[in-house]
Structure formats: structure tokens, C-alpha cells
Chain A
Amino acid sequence: MRIRAILLMAALPVFAQEIRMPASVEKLASKAVESVDVMLDGALLQLAGRFLSGHKPDEAKVKNMLDGLKGIYVRSFEFSQEGEYSAEDVEAIRSQLRVPGWSKIVGVVSKKDKEHTEIYLKTEGSRVGGLVILAAEPKELTLVHINGSIDLDKLSELGGHFGIPKIDVEKKPTKD
């Protein structure tokens, strides 16, 4: 009975939101001048999709992208001064992504701007099953988790709409 309870609790994160802000960072919410908390699970995504117009090109693109998505979660804090969160807090988030299936595809560190951005992809066979963006800036900490089958081409098509910067997935870096 005890073993069954342990196995059940171990399985729970599979069904719940996988990647979370650590409790130590959540406590900083009271110090944040601005915080964003978006939790859209499958049911809410479906509901949002119903209110997206298929006739408006912008909304039709988003609606098209929702197929296969199981959830979108965003947690972001903006602070009035630097140093409100520690490297350990960021490491606590990062450690959740050191599990089978997740792999870091982009890691950008800017010592000048003191910014650290990492992008992780979850692969399920040949398909993408999740995307995590972890952006740590001096006065801002952001975690974006998109759970489900993501079509990166469709995601790039959203650029230029809804205030989303245009992302050029096809652009190849050139060296002169």
C-alpha cells in the first residue's frame, strides 16, 4: 500500500504542470513590482480557441497553433532592483529540466547585460512535446512552459502579430 502511494506521488508531476517556479522564488512575488501568472491548461486552451476568430488572420494563426497543445504556463517577475533572486533560485528551476526527454538547445549568456536565456525542448520520439524558456535578467525572471506538440514553424508565423516580435526561424547566421 505504501509502495503504491509512493509510486502514485512520483507519477503525479507527469499529469500536473511539470515545470514550476520554486517555492523560494514564488515567495518573491510580494516584492515584484509586476508579476505575470498565466496558467492555461487543456480545457482553458480549448475555451480560448473557441473565442478566436477563424476569419481574422492573426487569430486564425493562433487558433491553428493550439492543436496539440496541452498547456501554456508563464510565470514572470519584474523587480524594482537587482539581486532580488539568487543563482540558486535559477538553478532550482534548471534542475527540473535535467530529466530524460528535456534537452537544452539554446543557452545565451550576456555578461555585459547580466542576462541569461536558455531554451529547452522536450522530445517524444521524433516530435517536440514541450518548450521551456528560462530568462534571467537583473530585474526580471521569466519562465515560459509550453506543454504539448509544438510546431515551431507555426510559432514563428505568429511573429509580427499581437505585439509578438518577428522570429525568423529560417534565418541562417552568416559569417563575413
Chain B
Amino acid sequence: MSRLDDALREALRREDPGPDFTRAVLARAAAARPRQSWWRTLTSGFRPPLMRWAAAGVLACALLAAGLEYRREQHLRAEGEAAKQQLVLALRIAGAKLHVAQEKVFERSD
């Protein structure tokens, strides 16, 4: 029995693995990062604050450009409708005067 005890004691005796072992274990632990979702992978480039501000700036410029274009279109539409009304008015006046002249010419001819 004592021989068995000695053998077990010998086998289970604590041994110092040395500094290299400790370094290797720590390195492996650091390398084994948790798995990221695809979204986190995609946005990882924007994590730094500067990139976030740049992205916000680009988005703001795009919105501003879209807004200005919308206003330009609205302004052009208003101008076009006004021109159309002026055109109809001009043709109405011209038509009325031509009609008067035509009536008088035909009156004289009768």
C-alpha cells in the first residue's frame, strides 16, 4: 500500500511548467476571440469615433443635397405652371381680338 501511495504522490507531484508554458497559454487565450456577428464585422471599421463622424457628415450632405434638389424641382414646377397660365391667357386674348376682327370683317361682307 505504501508503494502505491508513493507512486501516486510521485505522479501527482506539482511541477513548475516554466515561463514558456505560461506565455504560450496566454497567447492562445488572446487569439481565441469570440465569434462576431456579420453586422459587427461590417461596422467594425466605423468603431473609431472619427469614422462615425465622417459617416454622419456624408449622410447629412446627402440629405441636404436631396432636400435642395426637391426644392429646385418644386420651384421649377411653380415657374412652369405660371408660364403655362400666362400662355393660356395670351392665347385667350389673341383669340378674342382675332374673333372680333373676323366678326367685323364678315359683317362688312354681308
Contacts and interface: CB of A to CB of B under 8 A. Distances in A.
A1 B9 CA distance: 121
Interface residues of B, number: 30
A60 interface: no
A74 B94 CA distance: 8
Interface string A38-56: 1010001101101110000
Nearest to B106: A173
Interface in A61-93: 62, 72-74, 76
Contacts of A164: 91-92, 95-96
The CB with the most chain A CB atoms within 10 A, among B92, B100, B102, B106, is that of: B102
Interface stretch (B10-18, B21-29, B75-83): B75-83
B86 interface: yes
Contacts of A159: 95, 99
Interface string A130-155: 01010100000010101000000001
B98 A133 contact: yes
B109 interface: yes
A113 to B, nearest CB: 9
A100 interface: no
A108 B101 contact: yes
A74 B86 CA distance: 10
A144 B87 contact: no
Contact of A117 (B80, B100, B106): B100
Nearest to A163: B92
Given A40-B86, A47-B79, A48-B80, A158 B109 contact: no
Contact of A167 (B76, B84, B98, B110): B98
A114 interface: no
B98 to A, nearest CB: 5
B95 A165 contact: yes
Interface in A87-145: 106, 108, 110, 115, 117, 119, 131, 133, 135, 142, 144
Interface of B: 76-77, 79-81, 83-84, 86-102, 104-106, 108-110
Given A40-B83, A159-B95, A166-B99, 14 more contacts: A44-B83, A51-B77, A51-B81, A62-B87, A62-B88, A62-B91, A72-B90, A108-B108, A115-B104, A135-B101, A142-B97, A164-B96, A167-B99, A174-B109
